[in-house]
Amino acid sequence: QVTWIAGEAGAHINVIIWIVHQGVEVCINNAGGLALQEPLLSGKTSGWKTMMDVNSSLYRVNKTFHIFVCFSMSGYRVVNNADAHFYTASKYAVTALTEGLRQELREAKTHIRATCISPGLVETEFAYHLFSENPEKAAATYKSIKCLQAADIANAVVYVLSAPPHVQVSIIHHWRKQYCVVSFC
């Protein structure tokens, strides 16, 4: 069973995919997917509390559950481009929050695991949103290197789900059709 929950905020599309895979409930969060639109600078703390209450209630249920957060390699490196520095900072925050959540869930002895998947360039609509004023530049982005495909990310998810319950895969880095780093805890 697969349930897609999609929301749109400006040019950014947030997707959360819920899957039941061999008795394990799986949440794949791609590019944010927050239930409420409550920015850090202008958001209401009541909205943040609602999101945290919903998300933290997961560990109270005695189920096997896996949270995947798919985001950017920018969560691990800083490129020499001033336009990308705040974006990079936000991705570092996602890295820290996901790792903190994974540690807390493990310490609480839940049946919930959390994994970051950080792909390099994946051939999606991302560049077309980023360069909406210049479709030629978007197309050139995907022709500049051999890109990952959605199936590569799906294979990473299956790999992590196949790990036995006592193994926690915290991070998978993809870059140009290679699995660079797989961190186990």
User: Is the entire prediction scored with pTM above 0.75?
Assistant: no
Strands 24-30 and 12-21: antiparallel
Give all strands of the β-sheet with 12-21 in edge-to-edge order.
Answer: 2-9, 12-21, 24-30, 65-70, 112-118, 169-175, 178-184
* Residues classed as catalytic: 87
Q: Which domains does the chain have, with CATH numbers?
A: 2-184 (3.40.50.720)
Beta-bridge partner residues of 67: 27, 114
pLDDT (mean) for 80-101? 79
The tens digit of pLDDT for each residue in 101-135 reads 888 888 888 888 888 888 877 888 777 877 788 89
Question: What string of DSSP letters covers 77-114?
Answer: ---S-GGGHHHHHHHHHHHHHHHHHHHHHHHTT-SEEE
- Report whether pLDDT(167) > 80: yes
